[in-house]
Amino acid sequence: MILALAGGVGGAKLADGLYRALGPDTLAVVVNTADDFDLYGLRISPDADTVLYTLAGIANPATGWGLAGDTFETLAMLRRYGEDTWFQVGDHDFATHLLRTQRLREGWSMTRVLAAFTGALGVRARLLPMADEPVATMVATPDGELAFQDYFVRRRHSDTVRGVRFAGIEAARIPDAVRQAVRDASAIIFCPSNPIVSIGPILAVPGMRDLLRSTSAPKVAVSPIVGGRALKGPADTMLRDLGHEASPFAVVSLYHDLLTGIVIDHADAEQQARIALLGVRVLVTDTVMTSLADRIRLASEVAQFAAELRGDEGNV
C-alpha cells in the first residue's frame, strides 16, 4: 500500500495518477483539512473534496476543484438576497457540504464521513483526514490575520504573507486510521502540494513527524516548484515572503528530517548536487501534469523510484 499526503489540486492530480497506476485498494491519501471552513452554516472541506472528486473522475477539469458540469443557481439566488458570493459552490457540490454537515452534527467523525463518501462514489482508495478535530489555517498579512479562504479565494492570494499558523492544531490528534495507514505503507509520497499551507498542516499535527519517521518506508516528495514558480497557487510567493527560496531545495529543507528522496523537474536539474548533499536522493523527470497520461506516467515513475529507495535501504 502506498500512502500519499496531499493538499489541493496538484496533490489530487498525483493521487489520481497513483490510483490509476497502482490499481484499486492499494492507495491511501491523507488530506489537509486546515483549509476547511464554514459557509452558510455548512462545513466545507475543499482539499478532501478535491481529492474525492478527482479520484471519482467527476472533478471540474477546468479548475481542478468542484464538480464537472455543475451549475450555480443556488449562488445566483443568494446574490438576489444581496449576498457577496465570493466562494463558488456549485449546486451539486452543495449536496456534499449539506450531507457532511448533517453527518458531523449527528456525531460522525471526518474519517467516517470521508469513508462513506468514497464508498458511495465508488472510489477504492482510502481518503483520510489529517485529524478529526477542526484546524484552521490563519495567514498573517500587512492588513492583519486572515482566515485561509479569505486570503486564498476572496483576496486571490495577493497579500504579502508574514506568517502562517494552524489554529486548533494543539488539540488535533492523529486518527487511528492514519496511524494504521503509515504502518501499512510501503512508501510515503508527499504530493506536489504547497509545502507551507497544504502539507504543512498535516506535518504539524502533534506526533505526525515522529510517526512518519518511525517507519522505514521510503518517503519521497514531488516538488511543487518548477523553475522557481509554483505550478498552481501561491507556493512560490509564499515561500519567498517567508524567507525561503522558491526551489526544490527549499522544499527538501522544509521536509528535511523526513525525506528519503525528491522528484524534481528537468528545469531544476542543476539543483541535484546541492540536494544530494543533504542526503536526499533525487530523480529528475518531467513533473508538470497537464493530461491524465502525465499523471499516470509521473505516478509510475515516483512509485518505481520509491521501490528503488526501498531496495537501497535493504528493506524490500
Which residues contact ligand FO1 by CB under 6 A? 7-8, 35, 46-47, 49-50, 65-66, 87-89, 93, 149, 152-153, 198
Closer residue to ligand FO1 (CB): 88 or 272: 88
**CA atoms within 13 A of residue 214's CA, in its CB half-sphere:** 11
Question: Residue 50 CB, nearest distance to ligand FO1 (Å)?
Answer: 6
Question: Residue 79 CB, nearest distance to ligand FO1 (Å)?
Answer: 14
CA 176 to each of CA 48, 92, 112, 211, 257: distance values in angstroms, whole numbers, following the listed order: 18, 31, 12, 12, 23
Question: Residue 316 CB, nearest distance to ligand FO1 (Å)?
Answer: 35
For cell 509521473, name the residue: 298
Closer residue to ligand FO1 (CB): 99 or 267: 99
User: Within 106-216, where are the H helices?
Assistant: 110-120, 148-149, 176-184, 199-204, 208-213
> Of 206, 202, 194, nearest to 237 (Cα)?
194
Give CA–CA dist 313/216, Å, rounded. Answer: 8
Closer residue to ligand FO1 (CB): 62 or 273: 62
Give CA–CA dist 197/35, Å, rounded. Answer: 8
Closer residue to ligand FO1 (CB): 241 or 301: 241
Grid cell, residue 152, equals: 486564498
Question: Residue 76 CB, nearest distance to ligand FO1 (Å)?
Answer: 14
Question: Residue 190 CB, nearest distance to ligand FO1 (Å)?
Answer: 15
By DSSP bridging, strand 225-226 and strand 229-230 are: antiparallel
Question: Residue 154 CB, nearest distance to ligand FO1 (Å)?
Answer: 9
Closer residue to ligand FO1 (CB): 111 or 198: 198
Closer residue to ligand FO1 (CB): 22 or 153: 153
Give CA–CA dist 316/136, Å, rounded. Answer: 38
Closer residue to ligand FO1 (CB): 96 or 260: 96
Question: Residue 35 CB, nearest distance to ligand FO1 (Å)?
Answer: 4
Please answer whether residues 190 and 224 qualify as being in contact, where contact means their C-beta atoms are separated by less than 8 angstroms: no
Q: In the bound complex, which residue of the shown chain has the CB atom lying closest to ligand FO1?
A: 8
Return contacts of 149-158, CB within 8 angstroms, 24+ apart: 149/35, 149/37, 149/46, 149/87, 152/35, 152/233, 152/234, 153/86, 153/87, 154/86, 154/87, 157/233, 157/234, 157/237, 157/238
